[in-house]
Amino acid sequence: MHNENELLKGRLTAESYDRLIALDNAKMHEFVADAIELTQPASVFVCTGLEPDIAYIRELAIKNGEEVPLNIPGHTCHFDGYHDQARDKAKTKYLLPPGSDLGESLSSIDKETGVEEVRSFLKDSMVDREMLICFFCLGPIDSDFSIPCIQITDSPYVAHSETILYRSGYEQFKKIGSSPDFFRFIHSEGELENSVSKNIDKRRVYIDLEENLVYSVNTQYGGNTIGLKKLALRLAINKASKQAWLAEHMFVMGAHGPGGRVTYFAGAFPSACGKTSTSMLPGQTIIGDDIAYFRKKGGQIRSVNVEKGIFGIVRDVNSEDDPVIHEALTHPGEVIFSNVLIDSDNKPHWLGMGSDLPTEGINHSGKWHKGKTDADGNEITPSHRNARYCLNIPDLSNCDPLLDDPEGVPVGGIVYGGRDSDTWVPVEQAFNWTEGIIIKGASLESETTAATLGKEGVRTFNLMSNLDFMSIPLGRYVQNNLDFAKDIENPPLIFSVNYFLKDKDGKYLNGMADKSVWILWAELRVNGDVEAIETPTGLIPKYEDLEKLFKEHLDAQYTQQAYVEQFTIRISKNLAKLDRVEKIYREKVSDTPQILFDTFAEVRKRLRAAQDKYGDYISPFDLTAE
């Protein structure tokens, strides 16, 4: 410790040294000292999370050219490199010691080899740059859910983004004292060219589950660099597995029922399946749109939003479909846009914003004009399809008052949704927790869209929408979810939703606003206010209840024809889905719990019995006629 202390005293200003030493944690000091020796920064700034420090980071981002001011006060724009626009799945790997195995579906590298490689890329990477040391807290402050984190980076854009997305953890580090129980992240942009990372071929994101440590280098894109987001989710899933709680890729929102009642729902949806729009439903309140922790407290399952901000896809955000977010993006307040188009008046533009886009401006490719192509002849869109916005949830008019409650919120329902053109009905309740986890969550699929490379309409398996972030064997993850509610008398009800069902002509059977009705019906079910119809795969709404909800909340006439089209049970499609998903578990997941196969067999038996009795397509009215 003596040598580390001397190094810190010699390399930090007196003010930053005092700030760091005020946190009496030897493991953290060792981490900082090692990072300084490795990266050799010109200077070091320790952030306390107070407004003057955050203002310094904001100003540094503009001074360094990582962000440019826009036409609205508080708004800035950041550009990532042309080939640094998404999470790098291929170069994101777990550092595994000899004898460890996460299964073939999770990418890994020998720990000794990987550490040596990534540290060689980090070596001297901050020469002539300032190292920023920031402290954050995953989950509310002073909570059983809280996980303290330290982020070391040379990117003021990354640090600025995290001050928006996460609660300050400086005071939390004072409270944990010498505890080694915190997450660590070190990131460097590496060599820059025109203010963006140059050596993309040496982009690496390596995750050490033993040490709760993430290395990231030669990248600026948020998904690779904002350590507390999906990188921390991987650490949290592993930690939760050891401690019997859950870390999930889920929103948390408040559904407002009769008499001022609020019922909290969590939900998992793969990309482009309606996750953010569900968390932001008109008339409801948002806790969070992306990552949730679940713990058992007082005989209930309770949840918190890990974050306090949103790092969302800006494409298709417009005043009609997303009025609350659009309001925040077009009025003064703290917002960071990334990879949108900036016109000559410093106004941001993005795909699907509901107005005509300029024919020229500045974007992630540099100077842009309509028709511009890249070196491979591909058209460069004015705003990148994965362009983002970063904002504070408390700045939204629908922020739920319990966002920062250290006890979390009681979870009444859990929702799983995917992009499914021909199988699942718009909303269905599972019979019980076990079937909900297995048939709804662990069987989740989503169809590819035209925006995805490759063939459109291909079904992709994505259990609980968490497959990309898994850090434990898949079978163990399923079993953890099954076990979680064992000692809970009234666990949350589990639902599936599907906003993408089509008729035989390829026309969507759901309107965009209909999702409000499906969630509000689920709210009524959680509270025992309405009955339901039993199907082979779960419980669906009665027509008269949906008719009432459509009239009350959408001022729309809901016809019996629409009800039959949407809620007809498609036996063959459901059987085919079971076959597809079971094949994956049998061939790819060596530790699949037997109860999954037993449950598949039971549901398959019910489907075939219904098929023998009613035929391949079963109207919901047939099921109520008896």
The residues carrying an active-site annotation are: 273
Long-range contact pairs involving 502-511 (C-beta distance under 8 Å, separation at least 24) = 502/421, 502/422, 503/565, 509/426, 509/562, 509/565, 509/566, 510/426, 510/566
- Tokens representing residue 137 in the block: 């807290």
- CA torsion, ordered 57, 151, 407, 434, to nearest 10 deg: 130
Distance of CA 144 to the CA centre of its chain: 21
Helix (H, G, I), strand (E, B) or coil at 395: helix
Contacts (Cβ under 8 Å, ≥6 apart) of 477: 237, 241, 463, 464, 466, 470
Structure-token pair, residue 582: 């079971």
Q: Please check whether residue 441 is in contact with residue 464, taking contact to mean a CB–CB distance below 8 angstroms.
A: yes
Q: How far apart are the first and last CA of the chain?
A: 77
Q: Are 160 and 64 in contact (CB under 8 A)?
A: no
Alpha helices in 12-143 (DSSP H): 14-21, 26-39, 51-63, 111-122
Rounded Cα distance, 317 and 313, in Å: 8
- Distances in Å between the Cα of 295 and the Cα atoms of 64, 246, 317, 442, 489 are 42, 7, 33, 20, 15
Give the whole-angstrom CA distance, residue 192 versus residue 579.
49
Say if CB 412 and CB 492 are below 8 A apart. Answer: yes
Answer for the pair 494, 429: CB distance below 8 angstroms, yes or no. yes
Confirm if 395 and 165 have CB atoms less than 8 A apart.
Answer: no
